């Protein structure tokens, strides 16, 4: 609703020229791209229904894994037609222009073994006998088991909830060791990103138990307060070591140049790299 109101307010501006600057013109789907194009050049691509019928649906259908040869051909034709229209007024610049000025970026994909308890729990839930009608409602998602299975430990065996025990999860063990090493050996700051606020809760407990200064930004934070939080973290003399960020809130134009390390704890297919820092970046 907030985005719709913002777009409506922008459309009502009485201006002679409109210019859009974006690092991610297609972050999620073609409908967002249509919104940007329509703001800069109203009615160029018709209304939303016309655009969806003429371009979006054929392109998506052609990219489907089960698409026929005819669907693929039609999708490619629609994409070429769309690009021919929009490229007349879009100027695209890639990181290649800045490559000689940017610091090095290292990307590491870290595979984490399941912890013993985690593996036993996982095997239990994938055993056919486990899937009885009476227990189906309690079967956890595999993603939940992959990063934090401790919620399935009896409460009396867990100890204090405010204490986090990384040994329940292979991923959390690796993360805890990584943070300890970075803190001890460097002056670097780090951003921890997750798709789930429940995981950010775990990160917050981990930071608190190790006395790591941290800040947190998720969708519940007022927009007016976000920049103040970012500025505080970007201060090189500030005590904050970790910035906890939800992936959705992180897609709203944040420049966290105070950190040169980043962990995508449960990554999707949209990792971002902001070329504003001065130090080598490790993701």
Would you state the pLDDT for residue 271? 47
168 and 54 both lie in a single domain: no
Q: Domain range for residue 204?
A: 116-128+137-152+161-266
121 and 181 both lie in a single domain: yes
193 and 249 both lie in a single domain: yes
Looking up residue 77, the CATH number of its domain turns out to be 3.40.50.10810
262 and 175 both lie in a single domain: yes
Q: Are strands 242-246 and 214-217 parallel, antiparallel or unpaired?
A: parallel
Residues 176-234 have pLDDT tens digits of 999 999 999 999 999 999 988 888 999 999 999 999 999 999 988 887 788 899 999 99
142 and 187 both lie in a single domain: yes
48 and 121 both lie in a single domain: no
State how many domains the chain has: 2
Q: How confident is the model at residue 71 (pLDDT cuts 50, 70, 90)?
A: very high
120 and 203 both lie in a single domain: yes
121 and 51 both lie in a single domain: no
31 and 71 both lie in a single domain: yes
82 and 123 both lie in a single domain: no
Residues 130-150 have pLDDT tens digits of 555 444 445 556 666 776 776
C-beta of residue 44 within 8 angstroms of C-beta of residue 85: yes
* Three-state secondary-structure class, residue 118: helix
Residues 39-49 have pLDDT tens digits of 889 889 999 99
Is residue 214 assigned to a domain? yes
Would you state the pLDDT for residue 91? 87
In eight-state DSSP terms, residue 48 is H
Task: Determine if the pTM surpasses 0.85.
Answer: no
C-beta of residue 118 within 8 angstroms of C-beta of residue 145: yes
Looking up residue 146, the CATH number of its domain turns out to be 3.40.50.300
C-beta of residue 194 within 8 angstroms of C-beta of residue 265: yes
Is residue 27 assigned to a domain? yes
Is residue 24 assigned to a domain? yes
Residues 78-116 have pLDDT tens digits of 999 999 999 998 888 877 887 788 788 888 999 989 888
């Amino acid at each position: 609703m907030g985005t719709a109101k913002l777009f409506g307010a922008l459309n009502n501006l009485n201006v002679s020229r409109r210019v859009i600057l974006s690092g991610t013109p297609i972050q999620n789907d073609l409908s967002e791209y249509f919104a940007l194009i329509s703001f800069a050049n109203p009615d160029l691509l018709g209304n939303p229904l016309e655009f969806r019928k003429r371009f979006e649906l054929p392109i998506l259908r052609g990219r489907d894994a089960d698409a026929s040869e005819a669907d693929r051909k039609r999708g490619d034709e629609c994409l070429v037609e769309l690009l021919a229209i929009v490229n007349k007024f879009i100027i695209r610049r890639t990181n290649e222009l800045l490559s000689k000025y940017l610091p090095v970026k290292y990307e590491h994909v870290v595979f984490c073994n399941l912890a013993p308890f985690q593996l036993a729990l996982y095997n239990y839930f994938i055993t056919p006998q486990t899937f009885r009608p009476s227990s189906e409602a309690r079967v956890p998602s595999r993603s939940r088991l992959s990063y934090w299975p401790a919620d399935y430990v009896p409460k009396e065996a867990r100890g204090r909830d405010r204490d986090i025990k990384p040994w329940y999860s292979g991923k959390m063990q690796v993360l805890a060791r990584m943070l300890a090493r970075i803190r001890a050996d460097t002056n670097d700051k780090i951003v921890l990103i997750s798709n789930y606020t429940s995981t950010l809760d775990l990160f917050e407990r981990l930071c608190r138990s190790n006395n790591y200064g941290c800040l947190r930004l998720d969708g519940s934070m007022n927009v007016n307060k976000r920049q103040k939080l970012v500025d505080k973290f970007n201060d090189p003399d500030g005590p904050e070591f970790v910035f906890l960020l939800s992936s959705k809130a992180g897609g709203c134009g944040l420049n966290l140049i105070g950190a040169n390390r980043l962990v995508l704890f449960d990554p999707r297919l949209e990792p971002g790299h902001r070329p504003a820092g001065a130090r080598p970046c490790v993701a």
